[in-house]
């Protein structure tokens, strides 16, 4: 058991950048989930920690709120409030990041994740303030950074064969395009659902 924790500690602090990204996202999710579970158990307030997480970690669409919480342009891309949310993002990050890291190196892969996340956050704020149908809210999730890595892989190595379930072989660009389409559909559905919720209800938009 001690060897396991030693390995986890080593990978989390001294592993490659992809491994560190995975550990950081998972650590934030576990910290949020466990804190929420204990707080809900002892206080009976199931909405306290989500509200705190939304205030401190989620990226607000309101420019004035963002001006008071500028750090959220970074924290939002490491924050997930649902198990399926983080599972899907981390699976894509692991496989796409691993392939891209072998082609471009881990530093460029990390830069794509960070700058993709920042770019996605800026675009989110702009769209929410020019769209006539979207109401103010907030966003969490690694999707912008993950999609940046996925798209970069499709541009740099479009014809790389990828074997699905050990049976089907497809080109990387085809898989990347399908995943991106699925993510876009999910985000649009969530964005439209926030129109009826507004800034005062539910979890932040999950990217």
d(CA 174, CA 115): 24
Domains present along the chain, CATH in parentheses: 2-206 (1.20.1540.10)
Kindly give the confidence (pLDDT) of every residue in the chain, 207 residues in length, as a single tens digit, with 9 standing for 90 and above.
667 667 777 777 778 999 999 999 999 999 988 888 888 777 766 667 777 777 889 999 999 999 999 999 999 999 998 888 899 899 989 988 998 998 889 999 999 999 999 999 999 999 888 876 666 688 899 999 999 998 888 888 777 777 665 566 777 767 777 776 766 655 554 454 444 333 334 446 666
Strand spans (E) along the chain: 59-60, 138-140, 161-164, 168-171, 205-206
Spatial neighbors of 151 by CB under 8 A, at least 6 apart, are: 176, 180
**Phi, psi at residue 165, to the nearest 5°?**
55, 25
Please give the model's pTM, rounded to 2 decimal places.
Answer: 0.81
- pLDDT of amino acid 8: 72
């Amino acid at each position: 058991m001690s060897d396991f924790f030693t390995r986890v500690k080593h990978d989390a602090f001294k592993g490659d950048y992809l491994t560190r990204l995975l550990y950081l996202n998972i650590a934030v999710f576990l910290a949020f989930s466990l804190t929420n579970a204990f707080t809900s158990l002892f206080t009976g307030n199931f909405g306290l920690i989500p509200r705190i997480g939304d205030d401190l970690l989620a990226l607000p669409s309101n420019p004035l709120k963002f001006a008071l919480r500028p750090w959220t342009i970074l924290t939002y891309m490491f924050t997930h409030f649902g198990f399926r949310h983080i599972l899907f993002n981390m699976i894509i990050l692991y496989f796409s990041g691993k392939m891209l890291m072998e082609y471009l190196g881990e530093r460029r892969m990390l830069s794509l994740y960070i700058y993709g996340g920042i770019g996605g956050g800026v675009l989110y704020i702009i769209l929410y303030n020019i769209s006539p149908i979207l109401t103010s809210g907030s966003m969490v999730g690694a999707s912008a950074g993950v999609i940046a890595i996925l798209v970069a892989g499709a541009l740099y190595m479009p014809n790389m064969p990828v074997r699905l379930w050990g049976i089907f072989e497809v080109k990387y660009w085809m898989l990347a395009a399908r995943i991106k389409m699925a993510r876009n559909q999910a985000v649009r559905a969530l964005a439209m659902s926030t129109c009826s919720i507004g800034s005062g209800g539910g979890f932040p938009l999950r990217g």
